[in-house]
Amino acid sequence: MNKKKIFLSFPHLGGNEMHWIEEAFKESWVVPLGPNVDHFEHQLEDYLGDGRVVALSAGTAALHLGLVMLGVGQGDEVLCQSFTFSASANPVLYQGAKPIFVDSEADTWNMSPEALEQAIADRYRVTGRYPKAIVVVDLYGMPAKMKEIGDIASKYGIPVLEDAAEALGSEYRKAKCGTLGRFGALSFNGNKVITTSGGGALICPDNETAERVKFLSTQAREAMPYYYHKVVGYNYRLSNVSAGIGCGQMEVLPERVARRRAIHDLYSTLFKETSGIAVHDNPSEDFDSNFWLTTILFDENLGFTPEDLRQHLLSQNIESRWLWRPMSMQPLFADAPFYGDGTAERLFNHGLCLPSGSILTDDDVARVADAVKAFLQSKA
Ligand SMILES: *Cc1c(COP(=O)(O)O)cnc(C)c1O
């Protein structure tokens, strides 16, 4: 095999990252907090156009502090999208709370508003209480149906935590993902739209909440001359060195998002005449996904599994990935209640994530599409 390896989503540096890292070294700001962290947060705030941003050590840390800020504690129930990465749900367990999983709907692949409302009604019937929070995910960059979900959330007075880890740059009705719930979480892990090598951010509604998140993320140390603590603290702040990478990445973010969308468009064109597979697309004008990953679904009656296609691509030196295995199908969450009709499970069994990194060339994308088509022909 002499064809070069095509990766799913490889880091794509902008060129200026080292400049910001050198700034940190020049000033010996090789610590958590510092000027790069402040600058990175301001860049994100300008880009998002709404909310106050606190940079943290991971997207998972952002989701955890989001739940803390919403007052989720021991024994509370938290509604969570089932079709997602486990990092959306694990922080519910960190808080000693109970995840209640909600299925997806076919348009966006995200939380079904109908299943959400059924879940809320049923939890009230069973426990006499409403769940404490709703964790909605913008999966693969596709915004969830936030209007419908927001209406249900306000009807029952339950706040929404938006997991926008995969959706930096995506828009729903012209508003940026991450700003659509009461709190929003972003991730800058190595495979996301931009990277800080590892990091995340919590998007907060105002200064007061942002200051509280900064306080909690730096060990919750009260303003006293000695170390004095009244509440549990965390060591979740982003390092000033990592933030330097983020400062450089923010300078090229619009280009990176544009490229991911162009790759999705190219796949859509290349598969236009191919029967049996469909490229997941924005369901209407309200949705403008960043297409962090381009995903496909294939006909249920073609007689192969995602693993068959994944192995075929691997034999061509192409990395692809199964869709997220729903939380309702994970041994870790076997006891958690689930509300839905099996939509996410069907997607999981008939889909695949294709290489989508902004670093890919048009030729790379064509090579992937050709390999998929050759596989389909061999099955026809
Ligand atoms: C990546 C990801 C996270 C976690 O972010 P980390 O920065 O890796 O902790 C959370 N939710 C979803 C949906 C993700 O894809």
Q: Ligand 1 centroid vs 165 CA: distance in angstroms?
A: 5
Q: Which of 82, 108, 163 to mutate to test the pocket of ligand 1 (most atoms within 8 A of CB)?
A: 163
Q: Ligand 1 centroid vs 194 CA: distance in angstroms?
A: 12
Strands 52-56 vs 200-204: parallel, antiparallel or unpaired: antiparallel
Same fold flag, 17-251 and 254-379: no
Taking a C-beta distance cutoff of 8 angstroms, is the pair 190, 196 a contact? no
CA distance 291 to 357: 10
Domain boundaries, the chain: 17-251, 254-379
Q: Ligand 1 centroid vs 187 CA: distance in angstroms?
A: 6
Residue of 115, 126, 185 whose CA lies nearest to 152 = 115
CATH of 254-379, one of 2.60.40.1930, 3.50.50.60, 3.90.1150.10, 3.30.750.80: 3.90.1150.10
87 lines ligand 1 (CB under 6 A): yes
CA distance 335 to 98: 10
Q: Ligand 1 centroid vs 185 CA: distance in angstroms?
A: 9
pLDDT for 33: 75
Q: Which regions of the chain are under pLDDT 50?
A: none
313 lines ligand 1 (CB under 6 A): no
Q: Which atom of ligand 1 is nearest to the CA of 87?
A: 10
CA distance 265 to 356: 11
Taking a C-beta distance cutoff of 8 angstroms, is the pair 38, 188 a contact? no
- 17-23 long-range contacts (CB < 8 A, ≥24 apart) are 17/244, 17/245, 17/247, 17/248, 17/249, 18/248, 19/248, 20/243, 20/244, 20/245, 20/247, 20/248, 21/241, 21/244, 21/245, 23/244
Which residue has the CA at smallest separation from atom 14 of ligand 1? 165
pLDDT for 29: 74
Considering the segment(s) 17-251 as one domain, its CATH architecture is 3-Layer(aba) Sandwich (3.40)
Q: Which atom of ligand 1 is nearest to the CA of 187?
A: 7
Kindly write down the DSSP assignment for every residue of 146-177, as one continuous string: HHHHHHHHHHHT--EEEE-TT-TT-EETTEET
Q: Which of 104, 187, 194, 249 to mutate to test the pocket of ligand 1 (most atoms within 8 A of CB)?
A: 187
Q: Which atom of ligand 1 is nearest to the CA of 61?
A: 9
Question: CB atoms < 10 A from the CB of 23, how many?
Answer: 18
CA of 101: how far to CAs of 111, 149, 204, in Å? Answer: 9, 15, 24
187 lines ligand 1 (CB under 6 A): yes
Q: Which atom of ligand 1 is nearest to the CA of 188?
A: 7
pLDDT for 27: 77
Q: Ligand 1 centroid vs 61 CA: distance in angstroms?
A: 9
Which residue has the CA at smallest separation from atom 7 of ligand 1? 59
